[in-house]
Amino acid sequence: MKAIPVSQTRLEMSEVMTPNDANFLGNVFGGRILALLDLVAYATSSRFAGTICVTASFDRVDFHQAVNVGNLVTCIGLITYVGRTSVEVTVEVYAEDVLKRTRQHTNTARVTMVAVDKDGKPTEVPRLICETREDKVRFLEGKLRRELRGVQRQEFEKHAADIRQADESRLDALIEQTSLL
């Protein structure tokens, strides 16, 4: 099985945000950034796998600050964890004010991509060579994220099943406890 060092998986893509990318406040749409993340995750993972990779899931993406029209947005993708047929791509997003020459880190996103064959069936990906301490930490964090996603999904389903089975008075009581309605 082929093995590729983390350092060879780095991929950088930049794009200027135009007025077409603006939301109703005049900043850039969150969805525009998500689309960029998806493209970078696609290119990073497919180049690594040597076959088409499809998006299986996005981890939570937080928008801590607005990206402005006119900013140069740079996304840097890196393979941080590999399973059998899936890979985790970590994408760092930076927004640069090209006039002031200032650059801010705006997001970190983690996207799970699955390598598929020509029939769309998952297919094995190369092994990832972790050379540096940072590579190793990121790999183990990726593994932990994957395991915790499974645990969280099971926990949610357990509690959601209780909610779905509750009668209406129980639902009212639960809502009452939230003090939101």
Ligand X SMILES: CC(C)(COP(=O)(O)OP(=O)(O)OC[C@H]1O[C@@H](n2cnc3c(N)ncnc32)[C@H](O)[C@@H]1OP(=O)(O)O)[C@@H](O)C(=O)NCCC(=O)NCCS
The one among 7, 26, 31, 54 contacting ligand X by CB under 6 A: 54
Count of Cβ atoms closer than 10 Å to residue 86 Cβ: 19
108 versus 152: smaller Cβ distance to ligand X:
152
User: For ligand X, what does the binding mask look like between residues 88 and 117, x meaning CB under 6 A?
Assistant: ------------------------x-x-x-
Q: Which helix (H) or strand (E) holds 77?
A: strand 72-82
The one among 2, 84, 153, 170 contacting ligand X by CB under 6 A: 84
β-strand partners of 107? 93
The one among 27, 45, 80, 85 contacting ligand X by CB under 6 A: 85
Nearest to 44 by CA among 79, 7, 85, 93: 79
User: CB of residue 143 vs ligand X: minimum separation in angstroms?
Assistant: 11
User: CB of residue 26 vs ligand X: minimum separation in angstroms?
Assistant: 28
How far apart CA 23 and CA 28 sit, in angstroms, is: 6
The answer to whether residue 18 forms part of the interface with ligand X (CB under 6 A) is no
Identify the DSSP state of 67.
P
User: CB of residue 82 vs ligand X: minimum separation in angstroms?
Assistant: 7
**Closest residue (Cβ) to ligand X?**
83
Query: Do residues 33 and 69 make contact, with C-beta atoms less than 8 angstroms apart?
Result: no
Burial classification of residue 73, based on how many CB atoms lie within 10 Å of its CB (0-12 exposed, 13-18 middle, 19 or more buried): buried
Q: Which residues bind ligand X (CB under 6 A)?
A: 54-57, 83-86, 112, 114, 116, 120, 122
